[in-house]
Amino acid sequence: QAGLTQPPSVSEGLKQTATLTCTGNSNNVGNQGAAWLQQHQGHPPKLLSYRNNNRPSGISERFSASRSGNTASLTITALQPEDEADYYCSAWDSSLSAWVFGGGTKLTVL
């Protein structure tokens, strides 16, 4: 079962902006922030951001992450058809000494 809470689905129009959320607690998201992963069907996940807004090399600036309290957010601007995917957040939980995942959000680009 998921330790972090994500909305199951989000839909936004082409070239619009989508904001995905990930809610945890002070032991995980509120402590060290979250990583965001994108997964297309049949492929392994791809890291988009870690510890809130550190983007790995090669990740578009259209993807930006932030955190407010115990909630992390991923904002995707200028939505493209290829952004349609499942998005997961994950964080280290210091009380569990374990990584926790959100249940994932399916982003649909209309």
Partner 1 sequence: QLQLQESGPGLVKPSETLSLTCTVSGGSISSSSFHWGWIRQPPGKGLDWIASIYYSGSAYYNPSLKSRVTISVDTSKNQFSLKLNSVTAADTAVYYCARQYDFWGQGALVTVSS
Which residues here bind partner 1, judged by CB under 8 A? 1-2, 35, 37, 39, 44-47, 50, 56, 86, 88, 90, 96-104
- 44 vs 81 by CB, closer to partner 1: 44
Dihedral over Cα of 78, 83, 86, 91: its sign: negative
Whichever of 78 and 98 has its CB closer to partner 1, that residue is 98
Q: Quick one: 30 or 45, whose CB is closer to partner 1? A: 45
* Minimal distance, residue 27 CB to partner 1, in Å: 13
Smallest distance from partner 1 to CB 35, Å: 5
- 38-63 as b/e: b if 16+ CB within 10 A: beeeeeebeebbbebbebeeebeeeb
Given a contact cutoff of 8 angstroms between Cβ atoms, the answer to whether 73 and 30 are in contact is no
